[in-house]
Amino acid sequence: MSEDLLVGATWSCPTQDLLTALETLGRVGFREVEVWAEGYHLDPRVAPNVPAVRERLDRLSLSVRSVHLPFEHVLPAAPAADRARAWVRLCARTLEYAEMLGAGIAVAHPVLFADAGECHAHAVDRFVSAADVIGAHAEERGIQLALENMHTLRGPTLRSVAELVVVLGRMTRGAGVCVDVGHAVFNGFVDDRLAGEIVPGDGIVNWPSALAAYRSIGYAGRHVVEVEGGDDPLANLTRARAHLLGAMSV
């Protein structure tokens, strides 16, 4: 069923505590969720009550498909090497929570920590090393690490799937790619170029075409619905989910 391909993200409910956000996603009709861990919900820095989350998931008959690892405000005044190590520790703690919740995937932003005047290549080297350690923690817990294509609003990063593929080739731990369609469009990958961002491979997004591109490569995974919830996450998520289900049927 098409409904089974859509996963609701708690990111869409930033003004709600995690337990309430799970209630909202269940009311929308999602059966699988992605739990956000940057700044709120499952971020170790806000001390989430993981057993209570597990109980609420069970009561709502929801399962955690993925967890989005934290990535910002990590020792901002410290040298880049210290920041990278602190980020690894933060992600490792989040992966402990992810295992407790039964998540199978952990999504990481390609955070490039750099000292003043340091070249981009050195920051990428540091990220590869950090991602390898995070990948090792994930493997130990039976979780698949996936790196997400980003945009430059949050500073230096890796923007395209092609850049991520190069990084994956340098890692010693297995990892995959999480393609954020919104980020790809922001980066100028529209029309035929958008399909090219889908591995092995919207305001302005042609969703029937985008979803057809996934089908064309035999993609058998899920699509996470990560949309701005605004003042009414229930209504906005319900509308987005219905739109995507309609696009899947085209």
For 116-145, how does the pLDDT look when each residue is reduced to its tens digit (9 = 90+)? Answer: 999 999 999 999 999 999 999 999 999 999
Domain range summary for the chain, segments of one domain joined by +: 2-179+222-248
* Assigned CATH for 2-179+222-248: 3.20.20.150
Of 151, 173, 159, 180, residue with least CA distance to 68: 180
For 148-180, how does the pLDDT look when each residue is reduced to its tens digit (9 = 90+)? Answer: 999 877 678 898 999 999 999 999 998 999 999
Contact between residue 178 and residue 147 where contact means Cβ atoms under 8 Å apart: yes
Query: Which residues, other chains included, contact 29 with Cβ-Cβ below 8 Å and sequence gap of 6+?
Result: 3, 238, 241
**What's this model's pTM, rounded to 2 decimal places?**
0.93
